[in-house]
Amino acid sequence: MVTLSLLDRSRTRDGFADGEALRHTVERAQDAERLGYHRFWVAEHHAVPGIASGAPAVLLAAIGAATSTIRLGSGGVMLPNHQPLVVAEQFLMLAALHPGRIDLGLGRSLGFTAPVRRALRHDAEGPDTFADDVRELASYLDRTAPVTARPVAAAPIPLFLLATGRGVEIAAALGLSVVIGGPILAEPGLDDVLRSYRAGFTGDGAPRVVLAADVLVADTEDEARDLALPEAWATARSRQTGSFAPLEPIGRIKDQLGAPALGSRVLEQVAAAQARTIAGTPTSVASRIAELVERTGADELLASGVTYDRDALRASDAALAAMFDTAT
pLDDT one-digit tens code per residue, 222-274: 999 999 999 999 999 888 777 789 999 999 999 999 887 787 888 999 999 99
For residue 16, CA distances in Å to 13, 122, 187 come to 6, 32, 37
The pTM score is 0.94
Distance CA 191, CA 206 (A): 18
Give the model's pLDDT for residue 327. Answer: 41
Q: Give domain status of residue 138, yes or no.
A: yes
Give the model's pLDDT for residue 165. Answer: 61
Q: In this structure, are residues 72 and 62 in contact, taking their beta carbons and an 8 Å threshold?
A: no
Q: Give domain status of residue 111, yes or no.
A: yes
Q: Give domain status of residue 99, yes or no.
A: yes
286 exposure class (CB count in 10 Å sphere: 0-12, 13-18, 19+): buried
For residue 270, CA distances in Å to 13, 217, 231, 236, 257 come to 18, 19, 9, 6, 9
Q: Give domain status of residue 230, yes or no.
A: no
- CA angle, residues 93, 149, 74, in degrees to nearest 5: 45
* φ, ψ (nearest 5 deg) of residue 293: -65, -40
Query: 76-105, pLDDT tens digit by residue?
Result: 899 999 999 999 999 999 999 999 999 999
- Nearest residue to 102 via CA among 66, 65, 73: 73
Q: What is the mean pLDDT of the chain?
A: 92
* pLDDT over threshold 90, residue 198: yes
Give the domain CATH number at 164.
Answer: 3.20.20.30
Ranges 28-37, 80-89, 112-121: which has the least confidence: 112-121
Q: Give domain status of residue 179, yes or no.
A: yes
Give residue 194's domain range.
3-212+294-311
Q: Give domain status of residue 105, yes or no.
A: yes
Query: 33-65, pLDDT tens digit by residue?
Result: 999 999 999 999 988 889 999 999 999 999 999
Q: Give domain status of residue 153, yes or no.
A: yes
pLDDT band at 325 (very low <50, low <70, confident <90, very high): low
Number of domains in the chain: 1
- CA angle, residues 287, 273, 265, in degrees to nearest 5: 140
Q: Give domain status of residue 229, yes or no.
A: no
